[in-house]
Amino acid sequence: MFTDIVLDIFKLSGLLVAEGDVLTKDVGLSSARWKVLGALAHSDGSMTVPQIAYSMGQSRQSVQRLTDAMEGSGILVYQDNPHHKKAKLVALSEKGKEIFELLEQKQIPWANLAADGLNASDMEIALSVLRKMIQRFET
């Protein structure tokens, strides 16, 4: 059963990336870049690249490339980090905040539609299982 869950996570991940790409197309983003915005919004505003990568379960290099591109297009800004000379803090620009809020407005009805018919307590249980699995594989 655990293996079935793993396979379904792979499959869902692919399907959800496709969904996210559609939702973000209008604003010139992608699922991958949206996830970076989400990670930053989930934190207290700014994180270093390695912190974002850890929170996303990805390599720091892949996130670095995304943030560099998004900084180049004015969605993110690099801020000096008082605690570290090399590791800049990544934060949303004004433009980034606007785009993120736009996406949230599109995402809410999408999530409601997608979650329709799913039992809330079942979803809570599913979430707790996913969280435990993440803990198990996080370094």
Partner DNA sequence: GTCATTATGACAACATATTGTCAATATGTA
Partner DNA sequence: TACATATTGACAATATGTTGTCATAATGAC
Binding site for its own copies (CB under 8 A): 1-19, 35, 38, 55-58, 107, 111-112, 114-115, 117-118, 120, 122-134, 136-138
Nearest to 48 by CA among 24, 67, 26: 67
The amino acid present at 61, given as its one-letter code, is: Q
137 binds, among DNA, its own copies, none (CB under 5 to 8 A by kind): its own copies
Distance CA(129)–CA(48), nearest Å, equals 28
Using CB under 7 A as the binding rule, the residues of this chain from 59 to 118 that contact DNA are 59-62, 64-66, 68-69, 83-88
Beta strands in 6-114 (DSSP E): 46-47, 76-81, 84-92
Task: Pick the closer one to DNA by CB: 87 or 126.
Answer: 87
Total residues at interface with DNA (CB under 7 A):
29
